[in-house]
């Protein structure tokens, strides 16, 4: 989470008057550790209970109105403990029948001709309000206002939390980070007013204004940091020229078992241009699943070797690391010494590997996060590649980059990130795209069926197996939470399939298996010792078994389009026709729409755009694992225009040099000390 220091006179949480150890502990449990955390504990929502005129309310709106009682209430009991209270009222000149279900006790409080505030659903056509709340004391402000609602915890209710925040807000002085001219130019409020409004706006307009200022501030500070980092990197004289030996690289390309596609050729050329220039490469290589990014990476790594440099390839999962290492070994033969470093490489083996890495015997190191541990030192690394980069945090990439102070960086991704968005959040990044799949691939035929059709799907699957092909059956579980019951689901699916397809060899793969076990199963599948692989989404990224042509995705509606697309990309990797069957009985409109879109297109770019339209960026990229910055108020997709403006203003401030003058001393120091190296995830 991007955090901006907002307080000029910070003091400790425990110094809040009247805050006992018990409350302090509750605050800590809510992840509130400082005054800053407390005032940034923003309401999760706002309840609009402002009194309105019923004549202006739409049908079925939830309204808060004031009226006068003009009939004695009656209560009818029915069923078990059920009741319906009816009372007639005059509200803004309209005679309204007000009904409360299961609140019979209200009756004794309701007096004829009394004025009360009621909250409920306005059924205009029936002149009826289905009430939820009745307020007798008209001076009871909170319930008849625009009210902020906080996330709370047992032992700390809304009201005391709100009071505590209000009191703290009064006691602190807020840094006004935004330059005054920007505030005037974009009609932004002071940060002090903004914070007050975020906590206790009295109406929607004030709140919208406050959110705007806060989002802009977050974006601006973030962009300042990005632009400054860029400047530091670009002006660094450590950039290397990679003087690769073209003839060797060419002979390597000629020896490949296929011809490069146009997109691959262009990408290689663009990357090579960067490598040769005395700059640090900062490039994104995007291409749909199966478009052949690995080979492009291999060519680059080989080029580095011919120039006397090592390279590193970092991927998100062990299986993927193993597969990559394997396919690189195959591609390189004895041209390159490829080594694999994952969490399961330990002890003596690891020590030896680190030694070889340090003395330069290893040309190319492939691995997971294990690559960025502190004791991993390269001899002379000239290129760092991350695959499926949207799964890495900015911080991890940063750390990897620091491993080789001189390194060129290539990010590879199958998730097309809108270019402008990428530039705004990652800084100036060059983009290469592989737009088309290798020739001869047939588009994957995708169908969507409901659960009832499962037997039918099994028949299709069996007939594919008869042709000698292999299949995946995926039960797409949320990967980070492979709960026991999910594993049980997978195992049940596996047991059933063994009975349903008695002739086939069935294997199973899930996150609770050790990496050795997973590895073994993956190998059996890729050696065709297994016909059908029942798996969770651990196969999602990058796994390559070309003979697999049939994919069943169970409960497909549990995932977003981009994940489904990634999964589907496991098939369609050879000249054989491939199929993907989505089994889902979605209950929501968007669920249905998603299934339909999947059957309509296999174009990753189109899917990502549709996905972006249907959901926020958080869902789309999975912010937590995306490496995209996560802002408190700002939303990088919805507020995208604002992000652009903030970026331009930050760039202007830095490029004009104004940022490096006395006027910005304080802001500069703050960013330098707190933000330049801070994690944004």
Binding site for ligand ADP (CB under 6 A): 258-261, 264, 287, 289-295, 414, 438, 542, 544, 546, 573
Q: Nearer Cβ to Mg ion, position 312 or 506? A: 312
Minimum CB distance to ligand ADP, residue 291 (Å): 4
Work out the burial of residue 31: count CB atoms within 10 Å of its CB; fewer than 13 is exposed, 13-18 middle, 19 or more buried: exposed
101 binds, among ligand ADP, Mg ion, none (CB under 5 to 8 A by kind): none
Cα-Cα-Cα-Cα dihedral sign, residues 577, 583, 587, 591 = negative
261 binds, among Mg ion, ligand ADP, none (CB under 5 to 8 A by kind): ligand ADP
Select the span of 2-10, 88-96, 500-508, 538-546 touching Mg ion (CB under 5 A): 538-546
Q: Nearer Cβ to Mg ion, position 379 or 544? A: 544
Minimum CB distance to ligand ADP, residue 296 (Å): 8
Minimum CB distance to Mg ion, residue 317 (Å): 12
**Token reading at 273:** 């241009």
Minimum CB distance to ligand ADP, residue 615 (Å): 23
Comparing CA positions, the residue from 282, 635, 314, 633 lying closest to residue 427 is: 282
**Token reading at 657:** 């040099």
**Token reading at 109:** 């409080």
- Give the whole-angstrom CA distance, residue 347 versus residue 326: 22
Residue closest to ligand ADP, measured at CB: 292
Minimum CB distance to Mg ion, residue 263 (Å): 14
Minimum CB distance to ligand ADP, residue 482 (Å): 24
Q: Nearer Cβ to ligand ADP, position 291 or 608? A: 291
Q: Nearer Cβ to ligand ADP, position 296 or 370? A: 296
Comparing CA positions, the residue from 395, 415, 431, 315 lying closest to residue 620 is: 415
617 binds, among ligand ADP, Mg ion, none (CB under 5 to 8 A by kind): none
- Give the whole-angstrom CA distance, residue 4 versus residue 558: 35
Q: Nearer Cβ to ligand ADP, position 117 or 409? A: 409
Q: Nearer Cβ to ligand ADP, position 330 or 420? A: 330
Return the bridge partners of 131, or none: 100, 120
Q: Nearer Cβ to ligand ADP, position 569 or 622? A: 569
Q: What angle do CA 4, 9, 13 make, to 5 degrees?
A: 85
Work out the burial of residue 295: count CB atoms within 10 Å of its CB; fewer than 13 is exposed, 13-18 middle, 19 or more buried: buried
Q: Nearer Cβ to ligand ADP, position 120 or 604? A: 604
67 binds, among Mg ion, ligand ADP, none (CB under 5 to 8 A by kind): none
94 within 8 A of 55, measured Cβ to Cβ? yes
Work out the burial of residue 77: count CB atoms within 10 Å of its CB; fewer than 13 is exposed, 13-18 middle, 19 or more buried: exposed
Select the span of 25-33, 69-77, 492-500, 539-547 touching Mg ion (CB under 5 A): 539-547
573 binds, among Mg ion, ligand ADP, none (CB under 5 to 8 A by kind): ligand ADP
Minimum CB distance to Mg ion, residue 366 (Å): 12
Q: Nearer Cβ to ligand ADP, position 412 or 421? A: 412
Minimum CB distance to ligand ADP, residue 288 (Å): 7
264 binds, among Mg ion, ligand ADP, none (CB under 5 to 8 A by kind): ligand ADP
Q: Nearer Cβ to ligand ADP, position 264 or 432? A: 264
Number of residues that bind Mg ion (CB under 5 A): 1
263 binds, among Mg ion, ligand ADP, none (CB under 5 to 8 A by kind): none
- Give the whole-angstrom CA distance, residue 566 versus residue 320: 14
Sites for Mg ion among residues 227-256 (CB under 5 A): none
426 within 8 A of 316, measured Cβ to Cβ? no
287 binds, among ligand ADP, Mg ion, none (CB under 5 to 8 A by kind): ligand ADP
Q: Nearer Cβ to ligand ADP, position 188 or 412? A: 412
Q: Using CA atoms of 447, 452, 457, 458 in order, give the dihedral in degrees to the nearest 10.
A: 160
Residues whose CB falls within 8 Å of the CB of residue 209, separated by 6 or more in sequence, listed in order: 189, 197
* Buried/exposed 652-676: b ≥16 CB within 10 Å, e otherwise: ebbeeeebeeeebeebbebbeeebe
Query: From residue 670, how far is each of 219, 316, 647 by CA, in Å?
Result: 16, 33, 19
105 binds, among Mg ion, ligand ADP, none (CB under 5 to 8 A by kind): none
Minimum CB distance to Mg ion, residue 197 (Å): 47
Site string for Mg ion, 493-532 (x = CB under 5 A): ----------------------------------------
**Residue 60 CB neighbour total at 10 angstroms:** 12
Select the span of 154-162, 189-197, 272-280, 535-543 touching Mg ion (CB under 5 A): 535-543
Q: Nearer Cβ to ligand ADP, position 148 or 286? A: 286
Minimum CB distance to ligand ADP, residue 537 (Å): 16
Q: Nearer Cβ to Mg ion, position 438 or 542? A: 542
Minimum CB distance to ligand ADP, residue 206 (Å): 49
**Token reading at 574:** 């050879």
**Token reading at 34:** 């400082």
Q: Binder to Mg ion among 120, 131, 542, 569 (CB under 5 A)?
A: 542
DSSP assignment of 224-244 equals HHHHHHHHHHHT-TT------
258 binds, among ligand ADP, Mg ion, none (CB under 5 to 8 A by kind): ligand ADP
What count of Cα atoms within 13 Å lies in the side-chain half-sphere of residue 464? 25
Minimum CB distance to ligand ADP, residue 123 (Å): 55
Comparing CA positions, the residue from 357, 427, 406, 400 lying closest to residue 239 is: 406
Q: Nearer Cβ to ligand ADP, position 299 or 501? A: 299
Minimum CB distance to Mg ion, residue 196 (Å): 50
Residue closest to Mg ion, measured at CB: 542
Give the helix/strand (H/E) hosting 265.
helix 262-276
DSSP assignment of 591-648 equals HHHHHHHHHH---HHHHHHHHHHHS-HIIIIIHHHH-----SS--TTTTHHHHHHHHH
Minimum CB distance to Mg ion, residue 437 (Å): 13
291 binds, among Mg ion, ligand ADP, none (CB under 5 to 8 A by kind): ligand ADP
Minimum CB distance to ligand ADP, residue 260 (Å): 5
Sites for Mg ion among residues 414-473 (CB under 5 A): none
* Buried/exposed 253-284: b ≥16 CB within 10 Å, e otherwise: beeeeeebbebbebbbebbbebbbeebbbbbb
260 binds, among ligand ADP, Mg ion, none (CB under 5 to 8 A by kind): ligand ADP
Q: Nearer Cβ to ligand ADP, position 287 or 316? A: 287
Residue-level length of the chain: 681
Residues lying near Mg ion in the complex (CB under 5 A):
542
């Amino acid at each position: 989470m991007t955090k901006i220091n907002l307080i000029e006179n910070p003091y400790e949480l425990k110094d809040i008057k009247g805050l006992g150890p018990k409350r302090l502990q509750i605050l800590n449990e809510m992840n509130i550790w400082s005054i800053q955390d407390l005032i940034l504990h923003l309401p999760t929502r706002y309840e609009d209970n402002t009194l309105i005129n019923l004549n202006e309310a739409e049908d079925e709106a939830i309204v808060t109105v004031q009226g006068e009682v003009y009939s004695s209430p009656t209560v009818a009991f029915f069923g078990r403990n059920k009741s319906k209270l009816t009372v007639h009222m005059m509200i803004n000149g309209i005679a309204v029948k007000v009904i409360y279900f299961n609140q019979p006790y209200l009756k004794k409080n309701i007096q004829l001709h009394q004025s009360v505030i009621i909250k409920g659903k306005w059924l205009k056509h029936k002149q009826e309000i289905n009430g939820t709340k009745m307020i007798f004391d008209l001076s009871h402000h909170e319930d008849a206002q625009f009210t902020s609602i906080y996330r709370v915890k047992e032992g700390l209710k809304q009201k005391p939390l709100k009071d505590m925040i209000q009191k703290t807000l009064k006691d602190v002085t807020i840094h006004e980070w935004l330059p005054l001219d920007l505030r005037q130019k974009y009609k932004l409020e002071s940060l002090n007013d903004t914070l007050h409004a975020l906590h206790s706006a009295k109406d929607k307009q004030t709140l919208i204004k406050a959110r705007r200022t806060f989002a802009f501030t977050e974006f601006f500070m973030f962009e300042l940091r990005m632009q400054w980092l860029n400047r530091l990197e670009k002006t660094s004289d450590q950039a290397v020229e990679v003087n690769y030996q073209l003839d060797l690289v060419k002979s390597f390309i000629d020896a490949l078992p296929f011809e490069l596609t146009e997109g691959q050729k262009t990408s290689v050329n663009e990357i090579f241009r960067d490598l040769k220039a005395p700059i640090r490469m900062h490039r994104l290589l995007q291409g749909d699943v199966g478009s052949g990014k690995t080979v492009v990476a291999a060519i680059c790594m080989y080029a580095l070797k011919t120039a006397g440099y090592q390279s590193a390839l970092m991927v998100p999962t062990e299986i993927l690391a193993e597969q990559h290492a394997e396919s690189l070994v195959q591609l390189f033969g004895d041209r390159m010494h490829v080594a694999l470093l994952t969490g399961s490489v330990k002890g003596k083996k690891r020590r030896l590997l680190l030694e070889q890495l340090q003395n330069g015997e290893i040309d190319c190191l492939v691995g997971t996060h294990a690559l960025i541990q502190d004791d991993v030192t390269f001899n002379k690394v000239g290129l760092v590649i991350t695959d499926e980069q949207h799964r890495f945090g900015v911080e991890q990439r940063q750390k990897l980059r620091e491993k080789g102070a001189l390194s060129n960086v290539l990010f590879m991704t199958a998730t097309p990130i809108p270019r402008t968005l990428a530039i705004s959040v990652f800084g100036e990044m060059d983009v290469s795209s592989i737009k088309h799949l290798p020739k001869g691939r047939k588009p994957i035929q995708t169908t969507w069926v409901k659960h009832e059709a499962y037997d039918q799907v099994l028949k299709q699957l069996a007939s594919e197996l008869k042709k000698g092909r292999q299949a995946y059956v995926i039960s797409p579980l949320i990967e980070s939470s492979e709960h026991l019951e999910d594993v049980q689901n997978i195992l049940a699916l596996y047991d059933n399939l063994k009975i349903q397809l008695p002739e086939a060899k069935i294997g199973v793969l899930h996150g609770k298996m050790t990496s050795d076990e997973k590895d073994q199963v993956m190998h059996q599948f890729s050696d065709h010792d297994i016909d059908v692989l029942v798996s969770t989404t651990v196969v999602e990224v990058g796994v390559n078994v070309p003979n697999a042509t049939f994919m069943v995705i169970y409960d497909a509606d549990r995932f977003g389009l981009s994940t489904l697309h990634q999964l589907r990309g496991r098939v369609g990797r050879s000249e054989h026709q491939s199929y993907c069957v989505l089994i889902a009985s979605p209950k929501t409109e968007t669920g249905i729409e998603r299934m339909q879109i999947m059957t309509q297109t296999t174009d990753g770019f189109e899917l990502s755009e549709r996905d972006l339209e249907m959901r926020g960026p958080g869902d789309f990229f999975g912010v937590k694992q995306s490496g995209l910055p996560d802002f408190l108020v700002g939303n990088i997709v919805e507020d995208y225009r604002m992000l652009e403006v903030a970026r331009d203003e930050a760039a202007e401030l830095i490029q004009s040099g104004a940022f490096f003058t006395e006027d910005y001393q304080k802001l500069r120091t703050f960013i330098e000390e707190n933000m330049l190296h801070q994690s944004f995830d």
